[in-house]
Amino acid sequence: MCYTVSMVFVALTIVSMHLWQCLLQYLLIIIFFFFFFQVKSTGANLAICQWGFDDEANHLLLSNELPAVRWVGGPEIELIAIATGGRIVPRFSELTTEKLGTAGVVRELNFGTTKDHMLVIEECKNSRAVTIFVRGGNKMVSLCKIITRFSLI
């Protein structure tokens, strides 16, 4: 993959707040599509991100057939990387086809009256994880859930 960058210096005079907002929106779209094509060119069909990005970026990704999961915790993203055989990359520019992981099915489970949801990643390359999900109505069950999680590790 080869990128050519040309530097052009232009004097730009912005005379109103509306023009500034238009310029900012235009630059954000240009930057978004630059990052989007870096990810899409590797062959990725799902992006999992530890840090969040705004709703508009998430909408643009999904409308361009690249669903994304944001705000995934550090330990969880490491476990996903191990299970799928993928590598965690700090920048879009470091993403290559060799660093992608594989999974058969990724789906979201919705349950309960409070609209709880959970992401399930199945048929992974190196899956040795088991998740036991315990639900209940008091703090004792929450403590039981935490103890169960750490006893399986």
DSSP result, 80-108: HHHHHT----SSGGG--GGG---EEEEEE
Provide the CB-side half-sphere exposure for 131 (13 A, CA): 11
58 versus 9: which is more confidently predicted?
58
CA distance 143 to 81: 27
Q: Could you read off the pLDDT of 102-148 as tens digits, one per residue?
A: 988 888 888 777 777 888 888 888 877 667 666 666 666 655 555 55
CA distance 50 to 79: 12
> What topology does CATH give the domain 17-152?
GroEL (3.50.7)
Per mean pLDDT, which of 60-64, 87-91, 108-112 is the most reliable? 87-91
pTM here is 0.67
CA distance 132 to 147: 11
